[in-house]
Amino acid sequence: MVQRVLNIAKSRSFFLFGARGTGKSSLIKEQFADSTKLLIDLLQPDQFSILNRDPSELSRRIEAAKSHEGFIVIDEVQKIPKLLDLVHYHIERDKVRFALTGSSARKLRRGSANLLAGRALVYHLFPFTHVELGAGFSLEHALHWGSLPEVVNESDASLKRKILQAYTHTYLREEIQAEQLIRSLDPFHLFLGISAQMNGKIINYSKIARECRASDYSVKEYFRILEDTLLGFHVYPFHESIRKRQTCNPKFYLFDQGVKRSLANHLHIPIAPSTSTYGDAFEEWLVTEIHRLIQYKESDFTLSYLRTKDDAEIDLILERPGLPRALIEIKSSSVITPEHVSGLNSFAKSVPNARAYCLSNDPAAKVIGKVEALHWRDGIRELGIW
């Protein structure tokens, strides 16, 4: 069994958010096996039907379980947001502790749901990280298949492909429609494939809109849906002004490489080292891995990128309060040479209070000009990401 790095405090109620298939239910069962007094799974049609029709049924069940110690677990609570008013009531009146899992914060916000006004902690769960997998981690597997628990635990490649195809076809398409997040499914189907092909690239809303036959506004809404359903995240362009960052086009990263490749219909294409496909996949994966670890560590680190008017680019800028800003170039090469970091060296001379790093597959640490070149594992530790 893979030991997750997310440790949840057992003294207070909490939300556990994460995309479907990241292992939320398994984590709750593992860490709260001896402290669950009532489990309600809203993915079960009978449970959903009863509580959606009569939310007060929750109070009756809580009353019946009153003599037991432990948590009330409600899986996929966003499916019935009105339950949160009762959750709030029982936290206040009876000091009941709740474990609330969800794969979408969007429906809760859109429905003006009671988010418990700080009475519940908030955690996020992601696919497995290299830290969690330890000696079982395979970079090649992560780049080709991703790291969703069900995929990692399956040894047969044909079944891995079927799992990912089922995930992208059943969940991403049908369930998003079932949640009534979009009105028309056809443009969204086209958008999903295009967004996967544009993964990690600066978003050109107008171009994507033309290709999926939708408006610019709809495309922006589609990206918000993916972020709100925890299927990806934005990385905004660097600017000293946070307000100005939000006005420039961001990049978007899907939350898992296997899901991304399935959406792009690329699972049948091998990822061979020393190819542009491998380089893109490695950069996308490492940005996503850094994002996951920052979230788990609950640091105040933030990510951005920088591209100049003449198309020179820094892959990542890591802002670390109290520490120098980190300018990061990501290269998949197994041997880093001065040519790999010439652009970064130029940037490093002009950015104040910053240190420059190249993270790669090169096992040999070296300094090239102003750039510290490190293997990506060593870089993650050196930068304080984990």
Domains of the chain plus CATH, in order, are: 14-124 (3.40.50.300), 130-267 (1.10.10.10), 277-382 (3.40.1350)
pLDDT tens digits in sequence order for the chain, 386 residues long: 899 999 899 999 999 999 999 999 999 988 988 888 999 999 999 999 999 999 999 999 999 988 778 999 999 998 898 899 899 999 988 889 999 999 877 767 655 455 676 678 999 999 999 999 999 999 999 999 999 999 999 999 999 999 999 999 876 666 666 555 566 677 888 899 999 999 999 999 999 999 999 999 999 989 998 898 889 999 999 987 656 656 689 999 999 999 999 999 999 999 999 999 999 999 999 999 999 999 999 999 999 999 887 778 899 999 999 999 999 999 999 999 999 999 999 888 877 889 999 999 999 999 999 999 999 999 999 999 99
**C-alpha–C-alpha distance, residues 374 and 361, integer Å:** 8
CA atoms within 13 A on the CB side of 303: 23
**Rg for the chain (alpha carbons), in Å?**
22
Please list, in sequence order, all residues whose beta carbon lies within 8 angstroms of the beta carbon of residue 272, skipping any fewer than 6 positions away: 278
The strand ranges marked E within the chain are 14-17, 36-41, 71-75, 97-102, 121-124, 232-237, 251-254, 302-307, 313-319, 325-330, 354-360, 366-368, 371-375
Structure tokens at 118: 């700080």
Contact indicator for 187, 213 with CB cutoff of 8 Å? yes
